[in-house]
Amino acid sequence: MKSIFYTRFFILLPWILIVIIVIDIDTKRLSVRNTASFYLSRLGNVQQQQRQVVRTTRSSSTSISSSSNSGSNATSLPVIYAITPTYSRAVQKAELTRLANTFRQVPQFHWIVVEDSNSHTELVSRFLARSGLRFTHLNVFTPRRFKRTGMPRATEQRNLALGWLRGHRSVKDKGVVFFADDDNTYSLALFEEMRSTRRVSVWPVGLVGGRRYERPLVEKGKVVGWYTGWKADRPFAIDMAGFAVNLQVILSNPRALFKRRGAKPGMQESDFLKQITKVEDLEPKAKNCTQVLVWHTRTEKVNLGNEPKRQQDSVYIEV
């Protein structure tokens, strides 16, 4: 009986071994496939991540490049030098605040503030330090004999600012000079108009000369006259806020200044402009001088009739 069992066992044993071997081979193949699939999938994920990183880097580079380009474009713009004479009065800080809120939005801007004072006042010094603007703070006192009613104002202050430009800027500097009085209101579009000034550019001014506006009259791109309600026979019948001058014109005409001796009210603009240009050479801006982008608003004179002559409040508040 045992001999028959062993005989059959040894007959079947090779076949059993063959089956075991085949099963083992299939199992290993499946394991290899799974392992290969695992690593291939990981490799695919890594490559995908690398592609994403490359895309992100390219995107970032493009963003940085665009940002750099916009920054370089901004710095390549001519600087606008706005000259603002100012003097101590109740509305001074309010006037300067209105201007600063506008000027802060203008790229490549340099504010030259000139006080009618023997020294820098604390109010203006603090204000400029907190303005967030690039600025130059100057001061010069106007002699009392030139402060009489009917005499031109801010002559010394404007001339001091012109002197500063001539002493601190050179032929390498690109810029446009603009006389920005502190009793005006300015559209941001005005600064983009004036920035392309080659020599002297002009435009309308609102609420001036007893009219809703004054403006240069333009035909075929040239100034041929003036629409004005006051002294139309002036060589340049224009308001101080109605023109800009290329910096190089200022530098190449070192004797061009605002006149004090013999100057008449309303003639400062003409006295200055005729030293550096001719009417036919003026560059009309603001859609051929048909668009008002600056207004001579003038803050209303404040009523301080109830203000005590001596300090009564327990604290001092700067207004």
Q: Per-residue pLDDT tens for 26-83?
A: 444 444 344 334 333 433 443 443 333 333 233 333 333 333 344 556 779 999 999 9
What is the domain-level CATH number for residue 183?
A: 3.90.550.10
Q: For residue 5, is pLDDT > 80?
A: no
Total tally of structural domains belonging to the chain? 1
Helix or strand or coil: residue 287?
A: helix
- 307 domain residue, yes or no: no
Residue 79: per-residue pLDDT? 98
Give the active site residues. 269
- 289 domain residue, yes or no: yes
Pick 168 or 308 by higher pLDDT: 168
277 annotated ligand-binding residue: no
Residue 300: per-residue pLDDT? 78
- 62 domain residue, yes or no: no
The closest alpha carbon to 243, from 297, 207, 286, belongs to 286
186 annotated ligand-binding residue: no
Quick: pLDDT tens for 190-224: 999 999 999 999 999 999 999 999 999 999 999 99
The closest alpha carbon to 273, from 236, 247, 221, belongs to 236
As a whole number of angstroms, the distance between CA 173 and CA 186 comes to 25
As a whole number of angstroms, the distance between CA 58 and CA 248 comes to 42
152 annotated ligand-binding residue: no
List the domain range (segments joined by +) for residue 246.
79-295
Cβ count near 106 (within 10 Å): 18
110 annotated ligand-binding residue: no
The closest alpha carbon to 108, from 182, 176, 8, belongs to 176
85 annotated ligand-binding residue: yes
Q: For residue 14, is pLDDT > 80?
A: no
Give the residue-averaged pLDDT of 161-171.
98
Residue 315 CA to its chain's centroid (Å): 37
Q: For residue 277, is pLDDT > 70?
A: yes
Give the residue-averaged pLDDT of 244-259.
97
